[in-house]
Amino acid sequence: MSMSSNTNPLLDFSGLPLFDRIQPAHVPEAMGVLLAQANAALEQTTATDFEPDWRAISATLDVATERLSRAWGAVSHLNSVQDTPELRAAYNASLGAVTEFWTRLGADERLYAKYKQIDTAALNAEQRRAHELALRNFVLSGAELEGEAKSRFAAIQERQAELSQVFSEHALDATDRFSHLATPSDMAGVPQDVLQATAAAAQAKGLQGHLLSLKMPCYLPIMQFGQNRGLRERLYRAYATRASDQADAEMADLDNSAVIREILALRQEEASLLGHANFAELSLVPKMARSPQEVIGFLRDLAQRARPFAERDVQEMRDFAREHLDLHDPQAWDWPFIAERLKEARYAFSEQEVKAYFTAPKVLQGLFQIIETLFGVHIRPDEAPLWNPAVKFFRIERPLAAAHDGAATTELVGQFYLDQPARAGKRGGAWMDDVRARWLRPDNGQLQTPVAHLVCNFAEGAVVDGVQQPALLTHDDVITLFHEFGHGLHHMLTQVNERDVSGISGVEWDAVELPSQFMENFCWEWSVLKHMTAHVQSGQPLPRDLFDRMLAARHFQSGLQTLRQIEFSLFDMLLHAEHAPEQDVMALLQRVRNEVAVLQPPHWARTPHTFSHIFAGGYAAGYYSYKWAEVLSADAYAAFEETAGADGSPSVDTGRRYLDTILSAGGSRPAMESFKAFRGREPNIDALLRHQGMA
């Protein structure tokens, strides 16, 4: 049965996505139509008689590809939040064709030639920036390669995708294949919910006792709370040797050693084809950091500053273990256990106690209040077709100067969907995604306002004595909500009219976390927190002394945690800048550890073999980005600390300046320029050290 385009909701671009009407059956037809239109637009734009004009290309090609990405975005979104076997099948059936189109578009030398012919003198500043980034992306996608080199480049991309998938599967299977049956006496000290889950897992297999796995919800609590050292050692050894040459014999088929070598060799070859000395140089082309040496210097400087604090963290654990736990020579499998005991002894509060004060509606009200105050906007409930009744939809408006004729006094800035509760068929974690970008449309001259998705996975409210209670958030949940909203504000408060550099588009990879990490800071401000807490029973705000204990525990072992991040980041950068692919990666990791680590793992531990961020994610020669963006966000937030009111409340003037220089500018200029426009100077590492208790 064929559906006409006016009945297929994925082909309706008149307003917001029709999430309540999209069915799996709509996907193949819509993708067929939109891919055909996008391909036709590509052929039309690259024809020899087509004028190499920015607006003409935009009105033809960008309009067609934007429709494709919006429709595919709606399908991908539903696949993430409302997964069903039918939708998954429809998604996977179209995934190949959609991916192939974008890959081919990126390397099309005819289109690249048109872009090079565009007269940039006729473009405005935003268009020039978008044009500059477009040319760079063509080069990185292999558009300048010819003949043998071009086909080899395409083959490398395909093989790398296969190897990343193999790496992931080995890591997953090595985790899934392990199990260990423990007796009830082995499990002393382990939290009740873990005891119940592991007993149920044993029972499901017809076994007595507790069936343990290497999955985080089982592994981590046992390492932190389990009193049986032998059990901790057994689990640690299995976890630390996953997917490696050191694993048990029956896992030999999952060794990632050869996969790592081949991935590194292919990356080196890809870099050479594109004219770079190594993959680290290639990876940094679209990032803020200018060279591998700059990143390595940054990491070594931070390591040196964090080291005394990390050494103190370890000494405190050694003393505590000796005096209170009768542990005189702690091993790798003892440290998480010692740290947890020490933290409890020192700060004496529980996550459960804190949670009762953070009801979801009150937290949201407090978040909206700070956004409205700082950025001069209003957030109001709004209407839209939704995929689930738990989803809420809002609009952000900006007040206009009152008009004499009684015309509208507010303008629409952006809108967002907020999907907070966890449920079956919804991917774990939290994320922000764009539905559409702000764009002065080249086809009709109208301004398209931005729309965002903000997705979390929080607990739902419980029913107590027949009464529905509001959902309770942990303080970590509150931080997560503020983080995702930071990304959302970057996307929605932009004032840029050129789609490819508006909002989060065109922002460097190592700067994109600035607005999100920035918002997290407000979760530690008493002046903000007291307005967003109300005890679920009494309605009382969070007591000041409980907040002070939370604040004291905020920096617990931040020295150690910082060095661990630096160890991963430095290993990643040196691996892609100096390491010969055929050599053993463990020798390099040992060299890094000798330089920066204060706790040495056993010689048989194999961290790289499950380091999915760099071997199966987008972080190769980019893992440093987390720390890099933390420096930017901490220094940006320091501007608010310097101008805060007597009661600690943030300055509205500073908020407006942050809005104008960073959020509004989006990707329309390099991130460093936006940062300097806000701070009046380059970023400084001091604020980060202070925020992490290492000043």
Cα dihedral 112, 435, 289, 272, rounded to 10, equals -40
The answer to whether 150 and 250 have CB atoms below 8 angstroms apart is: no
**269 labelled catalytic:** no
Contact 579, 592 (CB under 8 A): no
Q: Which amino acid is at 89?
A: A
Give me 93's structure tokens.
């059936």
Nearest to 54 by CA among 154, 131, 162: 131
The dihedral over CA atoms of 453, 454, 455, 460, expressed in degrees to the nearest 10, equals: -120
Phi-psi region of 445 (alpha: psi -120 to 50; beta: other; left: phi over 0): left
What is the C-alpha radius of gyration for the chain, rounded to an integer number of angstroms?
27
Phi, then psi, of 246 in degrees rounded to 5? -95, -5
Please state the φ and ψ torsions of residue 447, each to the nearest 5 degrees. -85, 120
- Catalytic-role residue among 29, 397, 484, 630: 484
Neighbouring residues of 119: CB distance < 8 A, sequence distance ≥ 6:
none
Beta bridge partners of residue 393, listed in sequence order = 417
> What three-state secondary structure class fits 170?
helix
- 15 Cβ contact partners less than 8 Å away, ≥ 6 residues apart: none
User: Cα(289)–Cα(298) distance, rounded to whole angstroms?
Assistant: 10
Q: Which helix (H) or strand (E) holds 345?
A: helix 335-347
Parallel, antiparallel or unpaired: strands 392-399 and 378-381: antiparallel
In whole angstroms, what is the distance from residue 538 CA to residue 548 CA?
A: 21
DSSP for 488-501 reads HHHHHS----SGGG
Contact 687, 635 (CB under 8 A): yes
Q: Which residues are catalytic?
A: 484
